[in-house]
């Protein structure tokens, strides 16, 4: 009996080891990396939209099984092609995916008119550096993260943007979705307009982003109002604010919008004054909203 236990113990351990190896990841980000690593798209199968998903979340009209199967087939094909492009990128760059470590995942909603989809930005570490070029469009409406699209597959694992602009954009959207954000940007805009009208350069200049001659600081730091050159920059922007706001004693505000530019994620705050619209453009630097321009 003892010898039989000794005989079967290694077999049991091997089966247990194989079972652990075959266990599928329960998170999309891990499953995606594993699928590339194994060159096996089927690893993602449980994260793809199926008939139940489309019936419960997407389809507004009743569709036949044949119509649903065609929709699912087309979507799967679209995701497969994007996945293959990512696979090619990884192979070309000879990236060792075993050294990729997921650090943080940001879910944010840049699609205000879409109640199903949201964006997913993944921070990962590779050989000591953090990158954020792995992005998906997903849905979490069913309680599980479903992959709907890989929007820019050739950017995935490109490891080019050390400024992590995709992460900054995600954080901007997360901030903007908070109930207090609109009040924050409204109060700041009122403060800046009041400071400009009062010619209070010190107050006005404390809320500006630097965009001078130093490339290492441009659009990355707060303007230093005590510096002579920076102060001239602040005075020019204050002059422009007064020019644009001339005759606007009373005004209304619209809805803010964002745009990703080389400088970062701009947050545009429109001010409606009679027949004209004045827009204050902000960047969020180190968690603080800073005025960068007006138009």
Say yes or no: 30 and 153 in one domain: yes
- The pLDDT tens digits of the residues spanning 12-33 come to 434 333 434 457 899 999 999 9
- The predicted model gives 184-212 an average pLDDT of 96
Long-range contacts of 207-211 (CB under 8 A, 24+ apart): 207/289, 207/290, 207/291, 208/233, 208/234, 208/237, 208/290, 208/291, 208/292, 209/283, 209/285, 209/290, 209/291, 209/292, 211/263, 211/292
DSSP 3-state of 85:
helix
Does residue 10 register a pLDDT over 50?
Answer: no
The mean of the pLDDT values for the chain is: 89
Question: Looking at the domain assignment, is residue 173 inside a domain?
Answer: no
- The pLDDT tens digits of the residues spanning 225-246 come to 999 999 999 999 999 999 999 9
CA-wise closest residue to 264 among 215, 204, 212, 220: 220
Last residue of a domain, one of 137, 163, 189: 163
Say yes or no: 146 and 25 in one domain: yes
**Rounded to 5°, angle at Cα 118 from 61 and 287:** 155
User: Pairing state of beta strands 146-149 and 118-126?
Assistant: unpaired
- The pLDDT tens digits of the residues spanning 165-179 come to 889 888 888 888 888
**φ and ψ of 266, to 5 deg:** -85, 140
Say yes or no: 32 and 157 in one domain: yes
Task: State the residue range of the domain holding 254.
Answer: 181-294
Q: Quick one: pLDDT at residue 163?
A: 82
- The predicted model gives 213-226 an average pLDDT of 92
- The Cα–Cα gap between 113 and 63 comes to 23
Say yes or no: 233 and 189 in one domain: yes
**Rounded to 5°, angle at Cα 191 from 185 and 192:** 90
Say yes or no: 186 and 127 in one domain: no
- Tell me the CATH number at 219: 3.10.450
**Which tokens sit at 14?**
């091997």
Please provide the DSSP assignment of 173-208 as one string: HHHHTSTTHHHHHHHHHHHHHHHHHTT-HHHHHTTB
Say yes or no: 195 and 156 in one domain: no
Domains: count for the chain:
2
- Report the percent of the chain where pLDDT is more than 70: 92
Say yes or no: 29 and 140 in one domain: yes
Contact 104, 123 (CB under 8 A): yes
**Which tokens sit at 234?**
């602040």
Task: Tell me the H-state helices in the chain.
Answer: 2-22, 28-38, 51-53, 65-93, 165-176, 181-197, 201-205, 228-244
The band of 92, judged by pLDDT with boundaries at 50, 70 and 90, is very high
Say yes or no: 110 and 194 in one domain: no
Last residue of a domain, one of 95, 130, 163: 163
- For the entire predicted model, the pTM comes to 0.73
Say yes or no: 75 and 123 in one domain: yes
Question: Looking at the domain assignment, is residue 171 inside a domain?
Answer: no
Say yes or no: 274 and 206 in one domain: yes
- The Cα–Cα gap between 181 and 59 comes to 33
DSSP 3-state of 107:
strand
Say yes or no: 139 and 29 in one domain: yes
Q: Quick one: pLDDT at residue 290?
A: 97
Question: Looking at the domain assignment, is residue 175 inside a domain?
Answer: no
Say yes or no: 121 and 204 in one domain: no
Question: Looking at the domain assignment, is residue 7 inside a domain?
Answer: no
Last residue of a domain, one of 129, 163, 197: 163
Question: Looking at the domain assignment, is residue 6 inside a domain?
Answer: no
Question: Looking at the domain assignment, is residue 203 inside a domain?
Answer: yes
Question: Looking at the domain assignment, is residue 132 inside a domain?
Answer: yes
Q: Quick one: pLDDT at residue 16?
A: 38
Question: Looking at the domain assignment, is residue 176 inside a domain?
Answer: no
- The pLDDT tens digits of the residues spanning 42-65 come to 999 999 999 999 888 876 677 888
- The pLDDT tens digits of the residues spanning 118-172 come to 999 999 999 999 999 999 999 999 999 999 999 999 999 999 988 888 898 888 8
């Amino acid at each position: 009996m003892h010898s039989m236990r000794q005989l079967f113990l290694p077999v049991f351990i091997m089966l247990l080891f194989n079972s652990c190896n075959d266990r599928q990841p329960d998170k999309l980000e891990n499953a995606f990396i594993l699928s590339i690593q194994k060159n096996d798209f089927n690893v993602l199968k449980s994260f793809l939209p199926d008939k139940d998903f489309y019936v419960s979340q997407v389809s507004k009209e009743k569709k036949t099984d044949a119509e649903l199967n065609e929709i699912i087939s087309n979507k799967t094909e679209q995701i497969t092609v994007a996945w293959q492009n990512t696979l090619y990128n990884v192979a070309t760059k000879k990236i060792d995916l075993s050294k990729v470590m997921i650090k943080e995942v940001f879910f944010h909603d840049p699609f205000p008119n879409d109640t199903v989809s949201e964006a997913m930005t993944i921070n990962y570490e590779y050989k000591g550096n953090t990158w954020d070029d792995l992005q998906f469009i997903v849905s979490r409406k069913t309680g599980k993260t479903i992959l709907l699209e890989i929007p820019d597959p050739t950017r995935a694992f490109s490891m080019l943007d050390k400024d992590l602009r995709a992460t900054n954009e995600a954080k901007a959207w997360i901030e903007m979705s908070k109930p207090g954000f609109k009040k924050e940007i409204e109060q700041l805009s009122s403060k800046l307009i009041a400071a400009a009208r009062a010619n209070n350069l010190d107050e006005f200049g404390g809320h500006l982003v630097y965009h001078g001659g130093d490339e290492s600081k441009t659009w990355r730091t707060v303007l230093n109002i005590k510096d002579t050159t920076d102060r001239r920059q602040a005075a020019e922007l204050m002059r422009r604010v007064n020019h644009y706001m001339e005759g606007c004693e009373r005004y209304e505000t619209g809805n803010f919008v964002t745009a990703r530019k080389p400088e970062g994620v701009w947050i545009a705050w429109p001010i409606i004054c009679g027949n004209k619209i004045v827009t204050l453009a902000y960047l969020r630097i180190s968690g603080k909203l800073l005025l960068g321009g007006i138009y």
